[in-house]
Amino acid sequence: YVWGHSHRSKKPKPRCTRRPLHVNFKEMGWDDWIIAPLDYEAYHCEGVCDFPLRSHLEPTNHAIIQTLMNSMDPESTPPSCCVPTKLSPISILYIDSANNVVYKQYEDMVVESCGCR
């Protein structure tokens, strides 16, 4: 038993990273009001935040401490979470309730980067 890892450990889980998440408004049944785009790449964050945290994951000081506590005693402290650290907008052309065609930018629709928080 070394630093919270047993020697019988399973396959290592992938570290926190950005992964594809294709959103298709047509498949969601939203194409009756969304004109464009009918689909886009939203991405999502997935993976483990284990000790030691890599600097490119931009961990907060709290996440660093929590991850260290988790490595010493996994039962008492959960690991920090792999979450979006930077999001960007997309523009959507849609028909509103009054049948007007509207072009609007929606914030926080695309994951640009992930980190441990």
Burial (Cβ within 10 Å: 0-12, 13-18, ≥19) of residue 116? buried
Q: In this structure, is residue 41 part of a structural domain?
A: yes
Q: How many domains does the chain have?
A: 1
- Angle at Cα 84 formed by Cα 107 and Cα 50, nearest 5°? 175
CA dihedral 65, 80, 115, 68 (to 10 degrees): 30
Print the domain residue range for 25: 17-116
Structural tokens at position 40: 């886009």
Q: Is position 22 within any domain?
A: yes
pLDDT of the chain along its 117 residues, tens only?
A: 455 555 555 677 889 999 999 999 999 999 999 999 999 999 999 999 888 777 777 788 898 889 889 988 888 889 899 999 999 999 999 999 999 999 999 999 999 999 999
Helices marked H in 1-117: 61-72
Token pair 């009054």 is at which residue?
98
